[in-house]
């Protein structure tokens, strides 16, 4: 008996490897965050096949951001397809959110609202993980944006295949990113956007094409086009190599973040004594600033290395400058007690 088409088999393998690497408890619930696009529909199809065979339950949450006319119909169609792809009786919900104007811009605000809904749904349903359909192409675009913004190693490390979600024990998983640590051995280049489109075609699914993917106002759209231009000029394989570079940088970033965490435990919350900061390695200091700036309200995507180096100059080259204004209304300065960072009051 012939097996599934190659694209379908590879998507299922990616989900199975992620489940094997993270080891959710038997009979736990794994939710798919589905937009109705090709990436998340392919993920729902793969999860619906793999999860029950791994002794797990599957479900889906469709988030309707209400940003376009007809978004409710798109969400309803996505939910309908998820019910067809997942085992009978699997929980499938549509959640409508309001995306307010804010300092993070429409992309950042929509992401924040979406993740808040996903965390709430996962906690309410007792899920152990929420899976998203981010692909290798999304990873490459994320790295390219980090390079364009002059960000440090953490931003260039891209998105991890799994992390704690919203400060809970729930995992946020991105099975299609692949990674170097698969228990099956050998590098895993991940699943591409073209690959997920083939999955949908093979399974007869009807993916939604987000019109925002053609709007140049969004940084991710410009990054996608720039990446295609670079591949045309430099040759194929650029996206794969950017994603691989992210994997390699993540190990370095993890080690430095651990050192910054130890420094935070030692120094405590700001203000920090200048002598204590000066004794740290520069790479550890900047991570300390980044952590506290984000806790105070700065967006990680808007906080650049230039911002962090300006804060570090309060330690290494202070001549009375400040306070500094960081993204999200966060300020940094130096006073009698040392260097401080604080958000809006």
Largest CA distance in the chain: 76
Convert the pLDDT of each residue in 160-182 to its tens digit. Answer: 999 998 778 999 999 999 865 44
Strands 338-342 and 330-335: antiparallel
d(CA 72, CA 77): 9
Annotated binding residue at 151?
no
Annotated binding residue at 167?
no
**pLDDT recorded at residue 26:** 95
Token pair, residue 279, equals: 């004794």
d(CA 178, CA 274): 42
Q: What is the pTM of this model?
A: 0.81
More confident residue, 209 or 61: 61
Lowest-pLDDT range, 5-9, 40-44, 220-224? 220-224
Nearest Cα neighbor of 295 from 340, 253, 258, 342 is 342
Annotated binding residue at 90?
no
Lowest-pLDDT range, 37-41, 89-93, 238-242? 238-242
Annotated binding residue at 28?
no
Annotated binding residue at 237?
no
Convert the pLDDT of each residue in 104-131 to its tens digit. Answer: 566 777 788 888 899 999 999 999 999 9
- CATH fold of the domain at 6-228: Rossmann fold (3.40.50)
**pLDDT recorded at residue 104:** 56
Q: Prior bond to 323 cis, omega within 30? A: yes
Query: What average pLDDT does this structure show over 77-96?
Result: 96
Query: What average pLDDT does this structure show over 67-81?
Result: 89
Annotated binding residue at 38?
yes
More confident residue, 280 or 189: 280
Q: Is 280 exposed, middle or buried (0-12, 13-18, 19+ CB in 10 A)?
A: buried
More confident residue, 102 or 322: 322
For helices 136-148 and 238-267, what crossing angle results, to 10°? 60
Residue 186 has pLDDT above 80, yes or no: no
More confident residue, 311 or 178: 311
83 within 8 A of 92, measured Cβ to Cβ? yes
- 67 three-class SS: coil
* Residue ranges, CATH 3.40.50.620, the chain: 6-228
**pLDDT recorded at residue 344:** 76
């Amino acid at each position: 008996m012939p097996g599934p088409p190659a694209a379908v088999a590879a998507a299922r393998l990616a989900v199975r490897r992620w489940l094997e690497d993270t080891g959710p408890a038997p009979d736990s619930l794994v939710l798919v965050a589905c937009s109705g696009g090709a990436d998340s529909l392919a993920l729902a199809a793969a999860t619906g096949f793999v999860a029950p065979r791994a002794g797990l339950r599957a479900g889906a949450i469709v988030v309707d951001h209400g940003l376009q006319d007809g978004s409710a119909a798109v969400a309803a169609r996505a939910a309908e397809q998820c019910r067809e792809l997942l085992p009978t009786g699997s929980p499938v919900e549509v959640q409508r959110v309001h995306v307010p104007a804010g300092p993070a811009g429409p992309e950042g605000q929509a992401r924040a609202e979406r993740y808040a809904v996903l965390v709430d749904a996962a906690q309410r349903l007792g899920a152990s993980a929420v899976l998203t359909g981010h692909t290798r192409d999304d990873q490459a675009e994320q790295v390219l944006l980090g390079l364009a913004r002059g960000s440090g190693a953490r931003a260039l490390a891209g998105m991890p295949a799994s992390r704690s979600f919203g400060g809970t024990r729930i995992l946020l998983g991105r099975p299609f990113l692949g990674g170097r640590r698969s228990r099956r051995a050998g590098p895993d280049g991940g699943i591409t956007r073209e690959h997920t489109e083939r999955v949908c075609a093979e399974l007869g699914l009807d993916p939604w094409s987000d019109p925002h993917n053609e709007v140049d106002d969004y940084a991710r759209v410009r990054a996608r086009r720039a990446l295609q231009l670079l591949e045309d000029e430099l040759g194929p394989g650029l996206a794969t190599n950017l994603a691989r570079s992210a994997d390699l940088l993540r190990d370095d970033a993890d080690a430095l973040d651990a050192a910054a965490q130890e420094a935070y435990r030692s120094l405590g919350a700001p203000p920090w004594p200048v002598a204590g900061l000066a004794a740290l390695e520069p790479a550890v200091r900047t991570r300390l600033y980044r952590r506290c700036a984000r806790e105070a309200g700065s967006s990680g995507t808007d906080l650049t290395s230039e911002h962090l180096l300006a804060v570090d100059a309060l330690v290494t080259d202070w001549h009375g400058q400040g306070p500094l204004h960081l993204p999200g209304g966060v300020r940094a300065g130096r006073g009698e007690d040392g260097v401080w960072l604080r958000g809006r009051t």
